[in-house]
Structure 1
Amino acid sequence: MPSAPASVSKKLATQAKLAAQAKTEARASKAARKADKKTFAANGAKYAAAYAAEEAAAVKGRRDAKAAGGFYVPAEPKVLLVVRIRGTIGVDPKAKKIMRLFRLLRIHNATFVRNNEATKRMLRLVEPYVTYGNPSLKSIRQLIYKRGFGKVNKQRTPISENQVIQDGLGSSNVRCADDLINEIYTVGPEFKEANNFLWPFALSSPKGGFSAKTKLLHYLEGGEAGARGEEINKLIQKML
């Protein structure tokens, strides 16, 4: 039989080489995913243990304070959730600038911010247009799982798998959903990067809606605007 032309033999050899390389890469990728799965599970268990220990310490603190006839003052939460509740008509230019800084560009947008003195001063200036409070771990988890979108190559991408987090952050410490939730909840060293990766949450109008009469009033006056502490979690449930 006549031998195959040199060009055909070369092409077949190249194809075989590429197929072998693809097979090797697929095996390596599968092994990496398997290792990542174990790491992510271990991280989740570690965070759960830390949350449980924190809750146990708080319970013990309340019991000890009650036994001593005193009061237990819990540590101030490190993160706040800010929700925009009013539109742009009649908004003060300074308030507009602050809301752009908080990335609250549309009504019912929500974002996380650090709970510090500088943030509090800015929030006081936009209180008529927003409501904010201390989100629980459960609320943070629900927001990320149910309404979470990440910024990947400047595109709004749903966080449907851990790979989206890895592609968007490229961080060695924040690589899965549990890592991301923990970084936001504890305001970790990579909070800024993790928070910027998260697209502003697009929430729904709350069940029953906001009353036109109460929307303009402060929460302490029976309205909707301003600080509402842990009560923000009830509002989140209505807007998910």
Structure 2
Amino acid sequence: MFEYEVLTLSTSFTVVARPFLPSRTSSYPTTLLKKRKSTEKSREEKKNAALEARKNLRSKRQVAFKRAEQYVNEYKKAEREEIRLKRAAKAAGNFYVPAEAKVYFVMRIKGINNLAPKTKKIMRLLRLLQINNGVFVRVTKATSQMLLMVEPYITYGELSLSAARSVIYKRGALKINGQRIPITSNQVVEQALGKYGILTIEDIVHEIVTCGPAFKQVSNALWPFKLSNALGGYRTRKFKTFIEGGETGKREHFINDLVRASN
């Protein structure tokens, strides 16, 4: 239904009626104003988000720095204590016996041919599916028995701090949503292990070396390390035990030499 306005012509007194249509341009200023306000609001939100992100990053860096400093002091203290115990034992005419290892680095050095079903199952449990795969394992009675059962196919021992750090930094990868993601930044670590308080690569190193409370979560999140063939190859009697002049089985701290040659 149209509305009409009446126009009166002074000369002929003729009444002309025409529809009164609202101006098309009357809503433009309001629309532009709303759009401008929306743009300004979006810009302000992005600015605040960027400021918050920078603030969080700065805070995380401070936490990472403090933790790294704490770890260094802890490692130095443990090293000094070991030196003190060695000197005390020597002064008393005794031999110093180091504490039992809490964590072993286990490396597979033999293939899958002619494996018994039980051996295959243990290798799957250890996640050692390929030659030169390596994993960190907490030393318990159960894991020690498992290692003995598959000893002809593996070698293992206690890694030093420097060797453990080197293999984690160079070969480390995390399992995120079922995918293998190389550890290239602390953001990757936080994404995979942040809910356990593990935020940096140094947190991973510390948890592994000291067998910390989140060791299980960290070791499970770490993808099995893919090492290379050892430089210089293996001994001629590779499949004899290490103490018999071969390569398999327990080799204590000598595992460090093999890992350095394979890293």
What is the CA–CA distance in structure 2 between the aligned matches of 1:100 and 1:218, rounded to whole Å?
22
Deviation at 1:12, TM superposition (A): 3.7
What is the CA–CA distance in structure 1 between the aligned matches of 2:103 and 2:36, rounded to whole Å?
59
Residue 111 of structure 1 aligns with which residue? 135
Question: Which string of whole-angstrom CA distances, capped at 9 and with x for unpartnered residues, describes residues 55-103 of structure 1?
Answer: 1011000101111111211111210000000111111211111111111
Aligned length: 239
Deviation at 1:217, TM superposition (A): 0.8
Residue 187 of structure 2 aligns with which residue? 163
Question: The residue matched to 2:152 in structure 1 has which SS?
Answer: coil
Q: Map 1:207-218 to 2 at 5 A.
A: 207-211=231-235, 213-218=236-241
Residue 10 of structure 2 aligns with which residue? none
Output the aligned Cα RMSD. Answer: 1.6
Residue 224 of structure 2 aligns with which residue? 200
Q: Which amino acid in 2 is paired with 1:130?
A: I
Deviation at 1:7, TM superposition (A): 4.6
Q: Which amino acid in 1 is paired with 2:240?
A: L
Question: The residue matched to 2:100 in structure 1 has which SS?
Answer: coil
Question: The residue matched to 1:91 in structure 2 has which SS?
Answer: coil
Q: Which structure has the larger Rg over C-alpha atoms?
A: 2
Q: Which amino acid in 2 is paired with 1:217?
A: K
Deviation at 1:13, TM superposition (A): 2.9
1:187 aligns with 2:211: yes
Q: Map 1:38-117 to 2 at 5 A.
A: 38-117=62-141
Residue 174 of structure 2 aligns with which residue? 150
Change in Cα spacing, 1:8 to 1:214, as seen in structure 2 (3 Å) is farther
Residue 232 of structure 1 aligns with which residue? 255
Q: Is the CA contact 2:234–2:247 (under 8 Å) kept in the aligned structure 1?
A: yes
Question: The residue matched to 2:195 in structure 1 has which SS?
Answer: coil
Question: The residue matched to 2:115 in structure 1 has which SS?
Answer: coil
Q: Which runs of 5+ in 1 are unaligned?
A: none
Q: Which amino acid in 2 is paired with 1:23?
A: K
Q: Which amino acid in 2 is paired with 1:92?
A: A
Question: The residue matched to 2:229 in structure 1 has which SS?
Answer: coil
Q: Is the CA contact 2:196–2:214 (under 8 Å) kept in the aligned structure 1?
A: no
What is the CA–CA distance in structure 2 between the aligned matches of 1:124 and 1:172, rounded to whole Å?
32
1:27 aligns with 2:13: no
Deviation at 1:171, TM superposition (A): 2.5
What is the CA–CA distance in structure 1 between the aligned matches of 2:213 and 2:32, rounded to whole Å?
57
Question: The residue matched to 1:170 in structure 2 has which SS?
Answer: helix
Deviation at 1:18, TM superposition (A): 2.0
What is the CA–CA distance in structure 2 between the aligned matches of 1:226 and 1:6, rounded to whole Å?
80
1:17 aligns with 2:41: yes
Change in Cα spacing, 1:148 to 1:56, as seen in structure 2 (3 Å) is same
Question: The residue matched to 1:88 in structure 2 has which SS?
Answer: coil
Question: The residue matched to 1:206 in structure 2 has which SS?
Answer: coil
Deviation at 1:233, TM superposition (A): 0.2
The percent of aligned pairs where both chains have the same amino acid is: 42
The structure whose RCO (Cα within 8 Å, separation 6+) is larger is 1
Q: Map 1:134-145 to 2 at 5 A.
A: 134-145=158-169
What is the CA–CA distance in structure 1 between the aligned matches of 2:108 and 2:47, rounded to whole Å?
50
